[in-house]
Structure 1
Amino acid sequence: MKIAVVTTVMRVVLGILFLAHGISKFQMGLDGVAGYFQSIGIPGFMAYIVSPIELVGGILLIVGLLTRYVSIVLIIILLGAIFTAKLSLGLLGNGQMAGYEMDLAYIMIALYLAVADRTRWSLDHLLFGRRASRH
């Protein structure tokens, strides 16, 4: 039972964080995000893919729908961010920009969610089965 509670809290918190990142990108304007992406060597069109994935992915994590798949997609986005934008800054950053330490933490949470049993406090459990965590 304790693990199910912790898993649910991890899922909801990670969802809130991704939702906030998605909202932030939309508030900045996707053209601005595309321009930033281009300035660091990422194709600008990726802003129009990453931003909605973060927004919708965050919502899906919060409600616990398609958790495994969303977690895997978010891991791919986070790895992309590390290897295209943050690796050269180092683990802790360069004093002006953050490094990739938070991305690693997010990856570890998402990886856990990708392999964890469904908890009863999710739409995945309600819609797709009663296979709740045994803990």
Structure 2
Amino acid sequence: MHAPAHRTASLAPYGATALRWALGALFLVHGLTKLLVFTPAGTAAYFQSLGLPGALGYATIALELTLAAALLLGLFARWVGLIGVPLLLGTIDTVHGANGFSFANAGGGWEYPAFWALALLVLFCIGDGKWTLASR
């Protein structure tokens, strides 16, 4: 037995909100880990060890925390969230891709950042959901 279409449709904005908040929480945790645990200097050094500019580590911290705020608060979240897609795909190219598919593999495989990027694209398609400060 299926729920009537009007009931399912009326829940969609709440599902979009849950997705937006979950994605924002992930960016918040990752940004704060780089800021408070690894420290900005440590993050920059890690990026350099990968052959990337150290300044990209600082930019990544700022970007992850900005994405977290936009997603959690609903500040043009579906559009701002798109900025996270190349960030996550870049982690596959530079860090996780060579480690295989499973994120349980040593060094973390590419399944987690790929799914995260896909979830950001889904949010873009379905919209910001409820309780936003600014939406389009």
TM-score by length of 2: 0.85
Q: Identity rate of aligned residues, in percent?
A: 31
> Residue 97 of structure 1 aligns to a residue in which SS?
coil
Name the residue aligned to 1:55.
65
Counterparts of 2:58 and 2:87, CA distance in 1: 13
1:88-122 per-position Cα deviation (integer Å, ceiling 9, x unaligned)? 11111573221111111111110011222342321
AA matched with 1:83: D
How has the CA–CA distance of structure 1 residues 26 and 118 changed in structure 2, closer, same or farther, with 3 Å as cutoff? closer
Alpha-carbon displacement from aligned partner over 1:65-107 (angstroms, at most 9, x marks no partner): 1212321111010011111111111111573221111111111
Q: Indicate which of 6, 13, 22 corresponds to 1:13.
A: 22
Residue 89 of structure 1 aligns with which residue? 99
Please state whether the residue corresponding to 2:134 is helix, strand or coil: helix
Unmatched 5+ stretches in structure 2 = 1-9
Larger Rg: 2
2:124 aligned to which of 114, 117, 124: 114
For the residue of structure 2 that corresponds to 1:48, the secondary structure is: helix
Task: Tell me how far apart the structure 1 counterparts of residues 51 and 61 of structure 2 sit (CA, whole Å).
Answer: 17
Aligned-residue CA RMSD (Å): 1.6
User: Structure 1: which 5+ residue stretches go unaligned?
Assistant: 129-135
Q: Report the TM-score, using the length of structure 1 for normalisation.
A: 0.85
The yes-or-no answer on 1:74 pairing with 2:81 is: no
Please identify runs of 4+ aligned residues in structure 1 that moved more than 4 A.
Answer: none
